Structure 1
């Protein structure tokens, strides 16, 4: 059996294995979504971090002001620290107010033990002193975080030194500690509001981007629709007013369509003239009285072959890609006709045909293909013939099965050669299947024969690539 031909990827320009991102619309949508989902969250994190730094700076300035107010009332006399009973800031005087002042004397560089705590504000009386306190260099300050009784607090420390008699120094470190809850509350509130508005903005921008993309790609959708109309035979040219970028493409496609239609018309006229020029000499030869019966039969065969080949050359196969015919309209006529012919013994022909299946070619070619295969199936069948037609956006599949004796593997490899006939068929010249093969090849289709799993006889399968719509 000759190998059925099919369009390669390089010939059709279509790779069915490519994914969703092969679509321009999908690429633009994904790009817009990535821009929204990456850029806006990045802006959100940046703003949130900037706000945290601003709150931290404000807290540092606040604690610095408290520290200098405590330092202003701090006195040292005879190596003794003197502090007033009450401070100006009332929060230092209220127990567990959340604002505390401590004064310690330096110990070692790793921290200050609790026994070196010289003074604490009234607000700190009921609290456990921290194990370690920061100790910056004299005249330097330090801002950070500390845990008091398991709760986070912020601490601002400043080291100073009081000069005593005989140039003796009395170094101290003042610590201002405040509960972090107020500052964290501000940060949490800002974070919630920020991300709420960012999510709203992301949804709004997503909708705007989608609307913009649909508006931008609308000419491409119209272009696709017009190509589909031309492909289905509902239109002959592209007629919409396209943007500048598509006008040249539309104009070139219209030129190609006009050229193809004109060439097809010239071919048909030339072949019609050739058919008429051959008809008369053959008629003269057939009219000869001394013509033998064998010669007469051969001339009849020549007549049929020439008629078929001229008709095939005139058809739209291979060139008129934009034409199409519904398979069901052809199959119904053939089934009705063959049902009248094969009555004794009665052959039941069952159809399972997709009503939307389209054959991209000439109706007479499809009639020739289905007619030959259905006729052979009826000849070989005992009682049942099944015609199945399915289609998708990219492929048309036709299967013809019978419940006859089937075709052996040896015959399957020879049955499509001219003059070879399977033993299942008692009639015919063996040219029908070769004609079917030639027609299918001209449409770059595939033809194969196997054994029917459901009926047990022969099964002929045809597939045509329709391309992406």
Structure 2
């Protein structure tokens, strides 16, 4: 079965329309058949009364055949017949339409005044609807009169009605199918509303789903909001615990560093180096895990983040540092460029990249961003020595420092990569325009939806 609800509504509407039209057609056809037969019987009864009246006032059947109004009684095998029989002598008089054929009447005659409805065989062997009556008041003795109509005549009327009603039935079926499709569209509208509400939720335009859906889906919206609130609470608790752990380990790490200095003072340089290396590794691991714990990612409802003010703020702060005063900081980010995400994540991402670029740059650092078909493209470039292609993979490994003479933990690019991965993006290292390092980041629409406003 198809997974599309729209297709299910369409097939259900088509099946229900077809079934309903079939039942309606059969019912109407049956009602019309009953109507036609009743009208035929009424007309036969009128003809039979005319026969009885003419016979009762006539001078004899042989001398005067009863003239009936319908001309089909005079047309051979027209489907409309009458016959009169003398119950004593067996003498029979027929309408010209019988063409000499004798109708087989019922053995038991009806009582005087009674009207019998019987099924007889006609000239062609077909069934006929007949009304029979005894004309006991006729001069000369009792007579039995029968008036009959061939079912073929009635069937022709029924077929004509069916073909005339078929276009109406088809139009009715089409109208019902359209109404069913419209009903399906209306029924599926809450799903579209839910999608728009979820999109607004992701874009930070609303914080809850409740109130955005119809009353029938309000329970689902409340459950979703409760689940979302539970995830927020769990994420907040996890970050707080990570921070508590980091603060709790700083004292042991400080003691390890002090112990390493004591060992150096006593001349145990090898043991001091091992201890210091262990403390540095723990410090680097702690710094990265703490940074990763603070990554919110796109699921958090952080709203839309304007990149240009954020990039200028970080660049201005680094430009006032002792190492950054000698550099030219260029921010080429459109003012209207925004993305859906957490401001803290973007602050950590840009801060890590710009800080890393400032450590290696000789004279200038540049940050650029633009909205592209694949999402948001962010580039941070410097004019430093750059990284050789064979070393770029290692530069993204946590704690790896390609040049120990430059201060730092070697975590800047690794933390940036973690943030980009949380948003479903990609981070690539390449050569900059000035020969230094260029960091290219692509955040897809699913992870960080971009927009440009004027």
Which range, TM-score by smaller chain?
A: 0.5 to 0.7
1:123 correspondence with 2:97: yes
Counterpart CA distance in 2 for 1:299 and 1:193 is 96
Rate the CA distance shift 1:174–1:339 in 2: closer, same or farther, 3 A: farther
Counterpart CA distance in 1 for 2:106 and 2:65 is 25
SS at match of 1:148: coil
1:70 correspondence with 2:58: no
Residues 136 and 157 in structure 1, CA contact (< 8 A), matched pair in contact too? no
2:65 corresponds to: 86
Rate the CA distance shift 1:178–1:258 in 2: closer, same or farther, 3 A: closer
> 1:212 Cα shift?
3.6
Residues 154 and 177 in structure 1, CA contact (< 8 A), matched pair in contact too? yes
Rate the CA distance shift 1:97–1:226 in 2: closer, same or farther, 3 A: closer
Which structure 1 residue ranges, 5 or more long, are not aligned?
Answer: 1-18, 108-114, 344-361, 375-392, 394-469
The partner residue of 1:364 within 408, 418, 430 is 418
SS at match of 2:119: strand
Who wins on radius of gyration, i.e. which is larger? 2
2:311 corresponds to: none
Residues 202 and 301 in structure 2, CA contact (< 8 A), matched pair in contact too? yes
The partner residue of 2:242 within 260, 263, 271 is 271
Q: How does 1:313-392 map onto structure 2 within 5 Å?
A: 313-315=293-295, 340-341=389-390, 364=418, 367=421
1:60 corresponds to: 41
How big is each residue's C-alpha offset from its partner over 1:247-291, in whole Å with a ceiling of 9 and x where there is no partner?
565466446545644653454355235325424532542443233
> 1:59 Cα shift?
0.6
Residues 32 and 209 in structure 1, CA contact (< 8 A), matched pair in contact too? yes
The partner residue of 2:168 within 193, 197, 206 is 197
SS at match of 2:97: helix
SS at match of 1:143: strand
2:109 corresponds to: 137
Q: Give the count of matched residue pairs.
A: 319
Counterpart CA distance in 1 for 2:46 and 2:150 is 16
Residues 142 and 158 in structure 1, CA contact (< 8 A), matched pair in contact too? no
Counterpart CA distance in 1 for 2:216 and 2:96 is 80
1:49 correspondence with 2:30: yes
Rate the CA distance shift 1:367–1:253 in 2: closer, same or farther, 3 A: closer
RMSD between superposed Cα atoms in Å: 5.3
What is the TM-score normalised by the length of structure 2? 0.52
Counterpart CA distance in 2 for 1:178 and 1:273 is 103
> 1:32 Cα shift?
5.3
Counterpart CA distance in 1 for 2:164 and 2:105 is 36
Residues 81 and 97 in structure 2, CA contact (< 8 A), matched pair in contact too? yes
Rate the CA distance shift 1:117–1:321 in 2: closer, same or farther, 3 A: farther
Residues 133 and 146 in structure 2, CA contact (< 8 A), matched pair in contact too? yes
How big is each residue's C-alpha offset from its partner over 1:192-230, in whole Å with a ceiling of 9 and x where there is no partner?
343432321232133233324423442331113322554
Rate the CA distance shift 1:54–1:145 in 2: closer, same or farther, 3 A: farther
SS at match of 1:137: coil
1:157 corresponds to: 132
1:282 correspondence with 2:253: yes
Counterpart CA distance in 1 for 2:216 and 2:188 is 12
Residues 100 and 178 in structure 1, CA contact (< 8 A), matched pair in contact too? yes
Q: How does 1:427-446 map onto structure 2 within 5 Å?
A: none
